[in-house]
Structure 1
């Protein structure tokens, strides 16, 4: 969904203040001035508040401006702000507000407003909302981790290709007589005969736990005591465009159903940053496996 931020600017011009959910409050002075392009050059004030609730009157204004029902306008705005926070938290894209400036996540995990680069970001605003907000922020996080792959990974692939080349060379050019040591010795023959005389016993094979490749992590952000509760939460998150998965683990109190985000090709040095970003977004402590 693409929601033009001009509605935020228009509402600000009329009412001088607006609060956006889990982002903060923007305030304009009583007397505002604009440049030739219509951008507000009066210095706006911004107060970050991670517990902020969207101004109810702004939802009413948005419903009237977009000619939608109040419930649909409210759901659209909630989804828009949800995706906006995800992109800011992972450092992918700032929140550009048409004619005002842009809000970005700082190193402490809060948000700040800047108007210094407004002219540089105006031309990117349309593509910013049509492309970036239609994708899951987790995809952006994965792409960022992929770009961090260094020369060591390339070196491992070169080594693998060299080993395959040696094996192929040996298969074609080493005389078959060189492999005579594979023939059964008398002791081996006796052992085979002894095996054939004994009844075969089927031993159950224990399934092996999948081995996760290097750079692959599960970021577990929420657990539930019942599968029904976990399924309900997953359905809700997926309806917002989040890419989440679920597994289960046994504990002293029973089975726990865990919601997690799987990421591949992540550098170990990036796990703390991603963990903090996901904790800030989902509002729960995050563990890594």
Structure 2
């Protein structure tokens, strides 16, 4: 707070104010600053002034200044002395000396000081500087702590998000690897588009032999004999497998209408094959195409028999 505001506030509290070189202000016990309900300034009543010689200010007043300005005691004393010295200079040249919340002093012809009561101070006494700084520090600490907790919560959320993203990425990679493995090794998934393309570019010689349903336990005698190939035709063996798998693959492929065939010599090992007419120079190309269509891999598994 400013020094000029502290004179009245000290007087309201302690009822007496000694000012060196000026005199003594005394306040009645009932005097007090107006409360917040007062809308207009109120004239001071109950304050008297005695013009007498005062050598030193009260120690309590120095401590009061020190507490509410935050200055060290020597600086508080120096500020008070400078303020009073300037005030006496104003009085000596006939200028009034105004004390906020107390009144006005005016020097008369006989050299004495005349006191004219003023209005109550409207400035409220603030908390001591030390307590104010402590409150600000506590507020700042609370803000820092709250901000730290907020950042900690954000860090936890961020870590959880990163972990979930990492797990999602691992799942996608694992699924992709599994899909590629099944595509490259199982030979189970056959593109209908690939079959259509193969059918358009290579004409089948015969329709597929009639076979029983997948759940049948017997294979017809027509299927049991070896296929006799006409001149200029080749037998492309796609797969040799046991009865269960061979029947399943045969029935799966038969619906595409590509002339797929199956035969067995011993009812143990079954061959799934296609019979195609081709020149000797085209057999390698057809073999590669059939292998890519059936297996989808670079490893050559299709065999040619004539």
- TM-score, with normalisation over the residues of structure 2? 0.35
Structure index of larger Rg: 2
